A and B are shown apart, each in its own frame.
Chain A
Amino acid sequence: MTSIRKPLIDKHLRRNDLGLTVRDYEGVMSTLCAGCGHDSVTAAITRAFFELSIEPHRAAKISGIGCSSKTTAYFVGQSHGINAVHGRMPSVATGAAAANGDLYYIGVSGDGDSLSIGLGQFCHAIRRNVNMLYIIENNGVYGLTKGQFSASADIGTKPKKGAANEQTPIDPVKLALTLGASFVARSFSGDKKQLVPLIQAGLKHKGFALIDVISPCVTFNDHVGSTKSYAHTYEYFHPVIHADYVASKETITAEYENGAAMDVELHDGSVVRLRKTEEDYDPRDRGAAFDYITRHDGKGEIVTGLLHLDEDRPDMRDMNKLPKAPLNRLPFEGLCPGAGALADLQKDYA
């Protein structure tokens, strides 16, 4: 953390459609270690909300426990938020999304929070296709509790002190692919060119959008021998699909060359433009994506980009035929039909 807050100097700052600057999308001052990848992810989220011109009060931030989970305090201050119990962010988000479909839900979690204590919750939120952006700030350790290996630690990765890890890692990307997730991406805190548009697309995607962000723990897992360090990630970083977010179809120009780009229209009419940086990769084919990632895992490569996108799956609210309006705006009679209606319903099961 720094000794002073980042001062507000706005003479040269650009304003978005709402007349706000990027600084209006910040939160309180970060208390994380200097150089923590999580702070860079925070900066990327801040930038994405700003670029999308989302009114801050239309954002809801949910998190669990961990250095990563602390970061919801550091962006979009003028919004809603819950800092839940360790690993329980997905169920809180599920409940909130069920009650009010009008907000942009962003969950921030860690590899410890989501892949150990919260693994079950994480899987079921995917199955339900909760309409939210779910970011895992993945550093391979429990940073907040001083650097124990998490479930995402690779085989052979070395801790600062002690023995290398021998257990197989859980890869949230592959897990999400097998569970039918409709938006699956991986990125790196050190690459905002890739990360910011992914966050924009993930916020606009209808359904569960997972971004697994390699976000090095500079204090406990950034040494030689660690597979989640800055140096290791730079070396093995392997982008296959670049996603650009385009706010509306009209503004799309033909600046991309030779058919390598593919447009996917999102539910609100905005577009995600996918550009292949790897010839034989098809982000629409879930099975092929899984195979590709597995093959490259073998070479130690970190496959990144918008790895799978399926805009056609219904989200939780569609599946459960929930009303469009938030529950707090429905008339009481509609929400609670009374004892008579209950009795009638029970007759069906008699």
Chain B
Amino acid sequence: MNPTNTTDPDYFHKVVDCQWACPAHTPVPEYIRLIAQGKYTEAYMVNRHSNVFPGILGRVCDRPCEPACRRTRVEDEPVAICRLKRVAADHRDEDISALLPKKPAKTNGKKIALVGAGPASLTVANDLAPLGYECTIFEALERPGGLMISNIPSFRLPATVLDEEIGYITDLGVEIKYNHPIASMKALLDEDYDAVFVGSGAPKGKDLQLPGRDEAAANIHIGIDWLESVAFEHTDKIGKQVLIIGVGNTAMDCCRSSLRLGADTVKVMARKPRAFFKASPWELEDAEEENVEIVVNHSPKSFVVENGKLTGMVFEKMEYELDESGAITSQKSAGDVTIPCDDVILAIGQENAFPWIERDIGLEFDKWDVPSVDKDTFQSNRDGVFFGGDAAFGPLNIIWAVEHGHQAAISIHKYCEGTDVTDRLAAGLNLVTAKIGVNEWQFSNDYDPSDRRQMEHVELTERFRKLDTEVELGFAPEQIATEVQRCLNCDVHTVFEAPLCIECDACIDICPVDCLTITVNGDEDDLRTRLTTDADNLEQALYVSDPLKETARVMVKDEDVCVHCGLCAERCPTAAWDMQYGVIHIPLVEDEVTAAQVAKGVAAE
């Protein structure tokens, strides 16, 4: 293999599994270290810079970082990254106004219209308003937040947290026009805006057309619409026996909300076995803790209506055969069953819908009626119209909506400046040694074998009394102290200087996970057969050095297995290994502005 190019910012970024997996690339180990030092406000601000809504995401983020977490290679459970984000939000200073971006003294005269007050539009406004852009958000509903307020139940995400973090954005002078659905894109484009951002989400819940659907309509609800009417207190009760169709995250919110509105028995009906569920494991756990029954292998067939009223549903019981990889190879029916119920909630998916965008204004839609949107710039085929969040590529989650917002803000700025939207700053990397003395590091390098801390919940009896009692209590001080130590500091990198190595083997002997090998070079497949141990994840790179002085062999480090304990660097007599902080710089629109100013300054000189 060729020697690894560690100056490519992506190389070390990828080693920080959580940060790499986070759509907004939140520097996770960095904020965990700040929490460990009791610097909660700093930890909050580091989060806010990347993901805008730490208090919200610290509760309900989809947390793609956790399954990626390196900790799972050495034990079963990842670091509770999301919970620690909430810790930063819970314990930060109450008043952080001095640290927040400011409403500019005067605007730059550019007007941006944003459709929908969900996380995508809010992020665009958050990034553009401090630069002087006049941002106006049009929202169909009476409150801001999009699905975060209308669909995510308040027992998971309290309204106070939403209000506070959205307030930081409206404080920048962002105007939100409530109860203001945009009915015509054409009309909006005719108005005096320099750019339009569409953050209207994927607002259409899928229906299930089965026999009896129309007769029983009064007791059949579309999940996302029903959750919205619960959130806005238009619905405050439901029947005693409720069936939820589907096992995604929406289903989990529907079943738990039903329990709080008076249901006695709630069954979530799944067509397939558990391995095929779409819901996050923790959402399933939380529902099951509340005694929701999850019924597998039941395929809905028809609604049973008696005297014009829904009384049950017929399901076909399914039997599946799976192959070794777990894929279904065949299925057969094992007869029908009828399950009685008073209400059915359909939670089988969401779609984009743009009834308000005329199809004759030059905006391209593909065959699924989804607008054509560029994956990097978020620009549509029509100049000055940008999409982001669920509206861009279909339903995702909050953290993706935020990342889309950051990127769209860069594009909108470039568009308004008349510069090339595709000419964007690349990510950067700054490496600084973490060494402060002989075998002394700026990070706690010892491995803490503690298990993941478990979140405490409000008592079952207590939590159903009110719809908005937050179930999760947050981490107690002892839990915080332990959980932060479980982080492996993956952003403190092992950096190798081949000319210094005397091939003494000391680093290889001390490495607790057999990460290192000195061997004859070869291609990757060949090298992997000769490493001290095997990788779990072949996506992680092999770090291959220049040829070593004595034997012309190479030092190979498998980035997959390293636990960043720094022992190689401690054992190395020549400091050929060093532990270095890698600060990964992910550019936001403010950086584009600074870079342009610097470039201009240089040109003027």
Contacts and interface: CB of A to CB of B under 8 A. Distances in A.
Given A34-B506, A189-B505, A2 B571 contact: yes
Contact of A35 (B439, B447, B573): B573
B477 interface: no
Interface string A1-44: 11110111101100000000000000000000111110110110
Nearest to B567: A2
Contacts of A42: 509
A6 B511 CA distance: 7
Contact of A218 (B73, B449, B504, B570): B504
A42 B574 CA distance: 20
B506 A9 contact: no
9 contacts: A2-B571, A12-B513, A35-B502, A35-B574, A218-B504, A218-B573, A222-B502, A230-B502, A234-B503
Interface of B is mostly: loop
Interface in B469-517: 502-506, 508-510, 512-514
B502 A231 contact: yes
Contact of A234 (B440, B506, B550, B567): B550
A189 B505 CA distance: 8
A5 B477 CA distance: 27
Q: Which of A9, A36, A222, A230 has the most CB of B within 10 A?
A: A9
B74 interface: yes
A9 B571 contact: no
A220 B196 CA distance: 72
Given A34-B572, A35-B504, A231-B549, 12 more contacts: A3-B439, A3-B570, A4-B447, A7-B447, A7-B565, A9-B75, A9-B513, A9-B563, A12-B513, A33-B573, A34-B506, A234-B550
Nearest to A192: B505
Contacts of A231: 502, 549-550
B561 interface: yes
B445 interface: yes
Contacts of A190: 503-505
A31 B512 CA distance: 17
A166 interface: no
A201 to B, nearest CB: 21
Contact of B504 (A4, A8, A216, A235): A216
Contacts of B565: 4, 7
Contacts of A43: 505, 508-509
The main secondary structure of chain A at its interface with chain B is loop
B506 A230 contact: no
B449 A2 contact: no
B446 interface: yes
A1 B571 CA distance: 7
B6 interface: no
A118 B533 CA distance: 41
Contact of A9 (B74, B445, B510, B572): B74
Nearest to A232: B550
Contacts of B74: 9, 11-12
Given A9-B447, A218-B573, A230 B550 contact: yes
Contacts of A12: 73-74, 513-514, 533-534, 536, 561
A6 B512 contact: yes
The 5 closest A-B pairs by CB, nearest first: A35-B573, A7-B447, A234-B550, A43-B509, A3-B439
Nearest to B571: A34
Interface in B544-573: 549-551, 561, 563, 565, 567, 570-573
Interface in A35-91: 35-37, 39-40, 42-43
Contacts of B513: 9, 12
A230 B548 CA distance: 13
Interface in B514-547: 514, 533-534, 536
Contacts of B505: 40, 43, 189-190, 192
Contacts of B550: 230-231, 234-235
B537 to A, nearest CB: 12
A34 B439 CA distance: 10
A8 B75 CA distance: 11
Interface size class of B (residues with CB under 8 A): 35 or more
A6 B75 CA distance: 17
Tell which of A34, A36, A192, A218 has the most Cβ of chain B within 10 Å. A34
Contacts of B512: 6-9
Contacts of A11: 73-75
A213 B574 CA distance: 22
Contacts of A7: 446-447, 449, 512, 563, 565
A34 B506 CA distance: 7
Contacts of A40: 504-506, 509
B557 to A, nearest CB: 16
Contacts of A36: 506
A222 B574 CA distance: 12
Contacts of B449: 7-8
Contacts of B572: 34-35
Contacts of B445: 3-4
A191 to B, nearest CB: 9
Interface string B437-477: 00110000111010000000000000000000000000000
B598 to A, nearest CB: 42
B508, B536, B550, B572 interface centre (most CB from chain A within 10 Å): B550
Contacts of A33: 573
Given A11-B74, A35-B574, A40-B509, A230 B504 contact: yes
B504 A2 contact: no
B578 to A, nearest CB: 13
A73 to B, nearest CB: 16
Contacts of B508: 43
A230 to B, nearest CB: 5
Contacts of B573: 33-35, 218, 222
A2 B570 CA distance: 6
B157 to A, nearest CB: 35
Given A12-B513, A12-B561, A3 B504 contact: no
Contacts of A189: 504-505
A230 B505 CA distance: 10
A5 B157 CA distance: 43
Given A34-B570, A35-B571, A234-B503, A4 B73 contact: no
Interface string A220-246: 001000000011001100000000000
B304 to A, nearest CB: 51
A69 B572 CA distance: 22
A320 B439 CA distance: 53
B571 A3 contact: no
B503 A4 contact: no
A43 B509 CA distance: 6
A36 B513 CA distance: 21
